Chain A
Amino acid sequence: MSAEALQQALAALGIHGSVEARGALAILSLEGDAAPFRDPELRARLVAIASEHDFTNLALEVNHPPGEGAALHRD
């Protein structure tokens, strides 16, 4: 499985962002907003593509606004 190959496959569909692999989990950090992902067909398609790249799970990372949430906020 390759995060880079999955990232390229998603970009070909117009989904731009970076993909990080943690074992069989792919974490997608999106450049745009997540609204299009409300479409279940799109989600299913993306999960299927992740599966073709041997990832069992595809998760969308959410960047929460500074000042909210954990004290350990990411810079």
Chain B
Amino acid sequence: MDETLETGLAARARGKEEALASWLRERSPVLLGFSGGVDSAYLGCVAVQTLGPEKVLAVIGRSPSYPAAQWATAREVAERVGLPVLEIDTHEMDDPRYAANPTNRCYFCKSELWTLLGRVAAERGFPTILDGGNADDRTDWRPGAKAANEHSVRSPLAEVGLTKAEIRYLSRASGLPTWSKPSSPCLSSRLPYGTPVTAPRLRQVERAEEALRELGVLGDLRVRHHGDLARVELDQRELDEWLEPARLAALAAAVADAGFRRVAVDLRGFRSGSLNVLGGVSAG
């Protein structure tokens, strides 16, 4: 990155980090919906550094749609920064409105999550509930944000204007291992809208993505579930490498081992929310 640009990014990010710390002090103690992703890991880190561990509780919601690898990262990050964690089981798959996989699927998942976290917050005396939404998220299709609003969940990263790039910069400066971690939304996001969400389908996607990571695929990666066909999305640089015939055959075999009869590689490469595009859904 150009030095002037980096200095500008650093200055902006530092200013917003100070604003974030003030925001948190004014609303302490805080309970955080914690996935262990880039955003919530950073927010948890700043919260515990600013308020101390007795004033912060990070809650992980576990379900089949939450990748096991992400769970491991969440625990590792929490331990590393001294963030107190509570793990609860969520049951969004039991809700037929969620399982039918409509375009607002995330709303039903987040409604249950924030209801459960609201109970924990009330029982334990946490007046403020937070999520890791950032300033960039406001431009994407996020029906889960509606559920957060209905449950008075605050998004301090977005409120102080922190973008994903700034969060990655600050995470790196704080020594957080998540700074370069690809975004990892829940596994249900790999199923086209209207395809029912089932535990076996989610497991199939998870196994395929794990196998590709073991093969050495780096960067953003999604295995989109189109019934018998898996559509693999890779970063452009990875596509350059993995379209070499021998590597491509290995990739296909790994994905097929997860139970897909057909394997295809998307030539456009990774695109966040690509199933929104295919399904004709936009932020609107």
Residue positions of A touching B, CB distance < 8 A: 22-25, 27-28, 33-35, 37-38, 40, 43, 46-47, 56-65, 68-74
Question: Which residue of B245, B253, B264 is within 8 Å of A27 (Cβ)?
Answer: B264
Tell me the smallest distance from the CB of A44 to a CB of chain B, in Å: 8
B265–A70 touching, CB < 8 Å: no
For residue A61, which residues in chain B have a CB less than 8 angstroms away from its CB?
229, 262-264
Q: Is the CB of B228 within 8 A of A72?
A: yes
Given contacts A34-B248, A69-B252, contact A25 B226 (CB under 8 A): yes
Indicate whether B257 reaches chain A with its CB closer than 8 angstroms: yes
B165 in the interface (beta carbon within 8 A): no
Bound complex: CA A46 to CA B266 (Å): 11
Smallest Cβ-Cβ distance to B242: which chain A residue: A38
Q: Taking A34-B248, A35-B245, A61-B264 as contacts, is the C-beta distance between A25 and B259 under 8 angstroms? A: no
B225-284 residues with Cβ-Cβ distance < 8 A to A are: 226, 228-229, 231, 236, 239-241, 243-245, 248-249, 251-269, 274, 277-278, 280
B16 CB, nearest partner CB in chain A, Å: 34
Chain A residue at minimum C-beta to C-beta distance from B226: A22
Partner of B240, one of A24, A38, A56, A69: A38
Closest to B271 in A: A57
Q: From the candidates A33, A43, A64, name the one contacting B263 in the complex (CB within 8 A).
A: A64
CA separation between A65 and B245, bound complex, in Å?
Answer: 12
Chain B: minimal CB distance from A28 (Å): 8
Complexed CA–CA distance, A57 and B251 (Å): 20
Contact B243 A38 (CB under 8 A): yes
With contacts A25-B231, A43-B267 taken as known, whether A62 is within 8 angstroms of B251 at the C-beta atoms is yes
Residues of B within 8 A of A56 (CB): 274, 277-278
State the 6 A-B residue pairs at the shortest beta-carbon distance, nearest first.
Answer: A69-B256, A59-B264, A64-B252, A62-B252, A70-B256, A68-B253
Residues of chain B within 8 A (CB-CB) of A62 are 248-249, 251-252, 263-265
CB distance from B137 to the nearest CB of A (A): 22
18 contacts between A and B (CB under 8 A): A25-B226, A35-B243, A37-B267, A38-B239, A38-B243, A40-B236, A43-B267, A43-B268, A57-B231, A57-B266, A60-B267, A61-B263, A62-B264, A62-B265, A69-B254, A69-B255, A70-B258, A70-B261
The answer to whether residues A46 and B252 also contact, given A33-B245, A34-B243 and a CB cut-off of 8 A, is no
- B255: chain A residues within 8 A (beta carbon): 69
Q: Is the CB of B253 within 8 A of A69?
A: yes
Contact present for B267 and A46 (CB under 8 Å): yes
Closest-by-CB residue of A relative to B229 is: A27
Residues A58 and B263 in contact, CB atoms below 8 Å apart:
no
Contact B249 A64 (CB under 8 A): yes
**Most chain A C-beta atoms within 10 Å of own C-beta, residue among B231, B258, B269, B277:** B231
Q: In whole angstroms, how far apart are the Cα atoms of A45 and B80 in the complex? A: 46
Output the residue of A27, A47, A57, A61 with the most chain B CB within 10 A: A57
The answer on a CB contact under 8 Å between A70 and B260 is yes
Contact yes or no, B267 A59, CB < 8 A: yes
Interfacial chain A residues near B226, Cβ < 8 Å: 22, 25
B190 to chain A, nearest CB (A): 14
